[in-house]
Amino acid sequence: MANAFVAAFEILSFGAIIVLIVLGLGIIASMMGIFNFAQGEFVLLGAYITYLAYAKGLPIWTGMVAAPFVVGALGFVLEALIIRRFYAAPIVAMLGTYALGLIIRESVRGLIGGFYLTVPEPIGGSIDIGAMHISAWRFTIIVITLLVMAGCYLLLSRTSFGLRVRATLENPALARASGISTPLIYGATFAFGAALAGLAGALIVPVFSLFADLGLRFLIQGFVAVMVGGVGSFIGPVAGAGVIGTLSAALPWVIAPVVADVLVFVLAIVFIKFRPQGLIAGKGV
Amino acid sequence: MPKSMSVVREAIAADVGDEPVDAMAEGAAAGQDRAGRKILPIVEGVVLVAALVAPLLLQDYLTVFATRVIILALFALSFDLVWGYAGIMSFGQALFFGSAGYGVALLARDLDITNIFLVLPAGTMIGLAFALLLGGFLLLGRHPSSVIFVSLGTLTGSYAADRLARGWYYLGGQNGIPSIAPMTVGSYEFSEGPAFYYLVLGILVVVYLLCRYLVRSQFGLALAGLRENEQRIAFFGYKAQHLKAIIFAIGGAVAGLAGSLYAFHEGFVWPNMVGVVVSTQVVLYVLFGGSGTLIGAVIGAVIVEGVSFWLSDNYREIWPIILGVLLLLVILFRPLGLISFVLGERERVGSFGGTPKESKKEKRNAAP
């Protein structure tokens, strides 16, 4: 019983991490039609900022709070300078964001060297429930993921900003005719997606430690999750991330980890092939 | 999926819309075209002569490096066929390269087969088989697949293969398969050096000429149409998906040939060879050199590898950053690659299927 509970918690916490990382990727893919290869590097930057705060002797949480804002601002600038030119051509956008990601990743690699740098958990220790111990920080990540998910959902479905974003997604020409500044909306959406990636990086760095390929590790999983969930809505990629995260964490408990690792990807691609619209089809929230 | 369809349509519209701008940018080169001078054969000739004399001028260790570059150029050719000519973004070209490498490494290790007339065809077949499987799955089917699905599908395939190779003890895990026996003809062993170099160069020239014939044939014309506007080609009655699967398989076979040569030249294979790193590297070569021209892929591989070799002594740390910046600049300002500095748009598109008169007649027949 205790073992099953620990396993369930592990699976849940990994699922939450994947959801957190995919949120930003999904918003950018759904709302803008761009598969952002630099998203993994935004995660890496978030992690790096947290590490910097820690290395400078500041409390770790200051780094975690700063990370989304810094990465979001960077996302806004990059969108205005570079990404904006790619909207018409999705493949070129992939290559361009890949180049951006390469620049960011190698710069960070130059800064930290080839090391694995650890950052301690801001909330250490464990939560004891009877004889079972679960990591307090992983529990915090789950809670924050739920809050962020709810926040994003409310932002997109209940606020006037969300309405404008959805209007721009649905029909850019009509949105422009209605007086919505679509370039500004695209910039804000991209910055928001980048900020979410920064937050994800900041939160997961105590769990995975900081290394240059941190973002790359999650990027392909993230893409697969977005496709499985369905591009075009907010809830689709989140659902996909939940499925992929849970599967990747749960399968190694059942079959050999090597096979499980590959099986998740194979299953996902087969699923997308036969249901290209994804788990949840449709546009909007 | 209406969203992706509209994205595709926009992409095509953008492609078509871009051309006049490019053509204008190439004003000078286009002027030379009108004068009747052909640039492409000159570039090809210069590259061939340079490649022929290179081992005479280079030191031994540089010849070994040059051999590796030629093999990578062959690999780049395979990606250029798929992306530059048919517009299929294969982010997983290393899957065919690496699996053929692993295949011939296993042949040499477990069955002691190193005869060049067995291993090279075997490697080519492995690349072809994997490409047929993956390409058939991704490209064929009742509904045409979106470009995004194909590119992410190939990327995922390559990534999954990398993870499998890393975890599978039979394939050597993280370390791969070391010390592969050299290729043989009878009792002669191909070790690194000028002999291996000229062997690889000969293979590259043969494959290059075959590809050149292929992309200038009627088949190549259909592919070019596919790249520019897939829907229109489909309306003409071509089976667009089949054409794509065929060229994808041919690309896989060439990548397999390159992969088996690479395995024997380096003497070992390791998981990166099937993975995302090598997959994206070949994309870099072709984008730099110029996609849609075969020689562009070769030049791209030579330049990227050459500069990286040259800089790796002093600037190893910042070279990938420079590479990223250059790639971004090329994508933004020179979407047709470095070759577009000397090559006009008209010559890049080229003519198809023999003499113009003949081809016009065939075109009319092919498009009822």
Q: For chain A, what is the mean pLDDT? A: 85
State how far the alpha carbon of A142 is from the alpha carbons of A16, A59, B91, in Å: 6, 21, 33
Query: Model confidence over B296-323: pLDDT tens digits?
Result: 889 889 988 888 888 877 777 777 888 8
Phi, psi of B343 (to 5 degrees): -110, 130
Specify the pLDDT at position B86: 84
Q: What is the DSSP string of B185-212?
A: ETTEEE-TTHHHHHHHHHHHHHHHHHHH
DSSP H or E segment with residue A89:
none
The 3-state DSSP class for residue A132 equals strand
Q: CB B158: neighbour CB atoms within 10 A? A: 29
Q: Comparing C-alpha atoms, which of B264, B260, B280 is closest to residue B126?
A: B260
Query: What percentage of chain A has pLDDT greater than the value 90?
Result: 11
pLDDT band for B73, please (50, 70, 90 cuts).
very high
- Antiparallel, parallel or unpaired: β A126-129 and A132-135: antiparallel
B146 interface with A at CB cutoff 8 Å: yes
pLDDT band for A236, please (50, 70, 90 cuts).
confident
Q: What is the DSSP string of B263-319?
A: HHHHS-B-GGGGSHHHHHHHHHHHHHH-TTSHHHHHHHHHHHHHHHHHHTTT-TTTH
B118 interface with A at CB cutoff 8 Å: no
ipTM of this complex: 0.85
Cβ within 8 Å, pair A98-B89: no
Give the bridge partners for A284, in sequence order: A233
User: Which amino acid is it at A117?
Assistant: L
Cβ within 8 Å, pair B160-A283: no
pLDDT band for B354, please (50, 70, 90 cuts).
low
Is residue B197 pLDDT above 80, yes or no? yes
Cβ within 8 Å, pair B156-A224: yes
Q: Comparing C-alpha atoms, which of B242, B247, B240, B258 is closest to residue B215?
A: B247
- Assign residue A284 a region: left if phi > 0, alpha if psi is -120 to 50, beta otherwise? left
- Antiparallel, parallel or unpaired: β B188-190 and A132-135: unpaired
Specify the pLDDT at position B78: 92
- A contacts of B331 (beta carbons < 8 Å): 92, 95-96, 99
Do residues A248 and A221 lie in contact, with contact meaning Cβ atoms separated by under 8 Å?
A: yes
- B contacts of A82 (beta carbons < 8 Å): 328, 332
Mutate to test the interface with A, among B16, B277, B331, B334 (most CBs of A within 10 A): B331
Q: CB B111: neighbour CB atoms within 10 A? A: 9
CA-based nearest distance B3→chain A, Å: 7
State how far the alpha carbon of A153 is from the alpha carbons of A99, A148, A150, in Å: 31, 8, 5
Q: What mean pLDDT do residues A37-44 have?
A: 90
Query: Model confidence over A139-176: pLDDT tens digits?
Result: 888 888 999 989 988 988 889 888 888 888 888 889 88
B86 interface with A at CB cutoff 8 Å: no
What is the C-alpha radius of gyration for chain A, rounded to an integer number of angstroms?
Answer: 19
Q: Comparing C-alpha atoms, which of A11, A25, A9 is closest to residue A254?
A: A11
The full set of domains in chain A, from first to last, is 2-274 (1.10.3470)
Mutate to test the interface with B, among A36, A86, A170, A262 (most CBs of B within 10 A): A262
pLDDT band for A31, please (50, 70, 90 cuts).
confident
Cβ within 8 Å, pair B89-A91: yes
B2-361: which CATH architecture? Orthogonal Bundle (1.10)
For residues B46 and B29, give the distance between their C-alpha atoms in angstroms, rounded to a whole number: 18
Cβ within 8 Å, pair A90-B7: yes
User: What is the distance of C-alpha B153 from the center of its chain?
Assistant: 18
Which of B3, B160, B323 comes nearest A266 by C-beta? B160
Does the global pTM surpass 0.90? no
Is residue B216 pLDDT above 60, yes or no? yes
For residues B207 and B217, give the distance between their C-alpha atoms in angstroms, rounded to a whole number: 15
Which of A106, A220, A262 comes nearest B320 by C-beta? A106
For residues A155 and A25, give the distance between their C-alpha atoms in angstroms, rounded to a whole number: 17
B137 interface with A at CB cutoff 8 Å: yes
pLDDT band for B76, please (50, 70, 90 cuts).
very high
Which of B160, B276, B283 comes nearest A262 by C-beta? B160
Which of A33, A216, A268 comes nearest B7 by C-beta? A33
Q: For chain B, what is the mean pLDDT? A: 79
The DSSP code for A57 is T
Cβ within 8 Å, pair A224-B89: no
Is residue B366 pLDDT above 70, yes or no? no
Specify the range with the lowest mean pLDDT, choosing from A209-223, B20-34, B327-341. Answer: B20-34
Domain assignments of chain B as residue spans, ordered by start = 2-361
Interior angle at CA A21, CA A19 and CA A25, nearest 5: 105
Cβ within 8 Å, pair B13-A88: yes
